[in-house]
């Protein structure tokens, strides 16, 4: 029965890790939509109409809301994955305690190996998602001036 419970926790960990990967993709997709919406705002000119500006603002607001939701779901998935890995590790520690013939060296080696996924999940939980493409880093200085306006964009949208 303990083996079945352990397998279900490991199966849950695999499922939650798949959600992390999936949600990472959603965050990157949402970030691309924010980029497109910022381009629409950036494309406004003195000849643009109020309706054009409202449409660009609405697109930006919607894209930012989608991005926020995707980030929240990703963080939740990362937290679940971390908790799964901790639970797997704690179960293994219980198994090690039951084996009274194991040397401390053997126990340490096995515990260290089982701690690696916990450490990886913790690092994953702590990291931020960065969605950049190499070609974006080599674009012209025109994009750098636009990047400055992007930093200001979400704050203006909230005002």
Kindly write down the DSSP assignment for every residue of 9-61, as one continuous string.
HHHHHHHHHHHHHHHHHHHHHHHHHHHHHHHHHHT--TT--HHHHHHHHHHHH
Neighbours of 59 (CB within 10 A): 18
For residues 150 and 102, the model is more confident at 102
Question: Distance between CA atoms of 148 and 138, rounded to whole angstroms?
Answer: 16
For residue 115, what are its two tokens?
């701690």
Residue whose tokens read 């990157």:
28
- With a cut of 70, say whether residue 84 has pLDDT above it: yes
Q: Which residues contact 87 (CB under 8 A, 6 or more apart)?
A: 9
For residues 155 and 108, the model is more confident at 108
Residue whose tokens read 């990703």:
74
Q: Could you report the per-residue pLDDT of 94-148, keeping only the tens digit for each?
A: 999 999 999 999 999 999 999 999 998 888 888 766 665 545 444 444 444 444 4
Predicted pLDDT of residue 82: 92
140 CA to centre of own chain:
29
Measured CA angle at 152 (ends 159, 39), to 5 deg: 105
Measured CA angle at 83 (ends 82, 88), to 5 deg: 100
Q: Supply the angle between the helices 50-98 and 141-158 in degrees, to the nearest 10.
A: 90
Predicted pLDDT of residue 1: 45
Q: Could you report the per-residue pLDDT of 19-63, keeping only the tens digit for each?
A: 888 888 899 999 999 999 999 999 999 999 999 999 999 999 999
Question: Distance between CA atoms of 134 and 136, rounded to whole angstroms?
Answer: 5
Q: pLDDT above 70 covers what percent of the chain?
A: 75
What φ, ψ does residue 44 adopt, rounded to 5°? Answer: -65, 140
For residues 141 and 86, the model is more confident at 86
For residue 93, what are its two tokens?
């520690």
Q: In this structure, is the dihedral angle defined by the CA atoms of residues 42, 150, 58 and 64, taken in order, positive or negative? A: positive
């Amino acid at each position: 029965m303990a083996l079945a419970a352990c397998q279900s926790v490991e199966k849950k960990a695999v499922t939650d890790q798949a959600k992390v990967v999936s949600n990472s993709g959603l965050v990157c997709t949402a970030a691309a939509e924010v980029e497109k919406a910022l381009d629409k705002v950036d494309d406004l000119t003195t000849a643009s109409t109020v309706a054009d500006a409202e449409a660009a603002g609405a697109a930006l607001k919607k894209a930012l809301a989608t991005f926020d939701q995707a980030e929240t779901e990703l963080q939740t998935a990362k937290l679940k994955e971390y908790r799964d890995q901790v639970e797997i590790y704690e179960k293994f520690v219980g198994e090690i305690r039951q084996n009274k013939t194991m040397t401390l060296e053997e126990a340490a080696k096995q515990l260290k190996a089982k701690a690696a996924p916990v450490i990886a999940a913790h690092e994953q939980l702590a990291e931020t998602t960065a969605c950049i493409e190499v070609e974006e880093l080599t674009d012209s200085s025109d994009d750098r001036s636009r990047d400055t306006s992007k930093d200001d964009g979400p704050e203006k949208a909230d005002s």
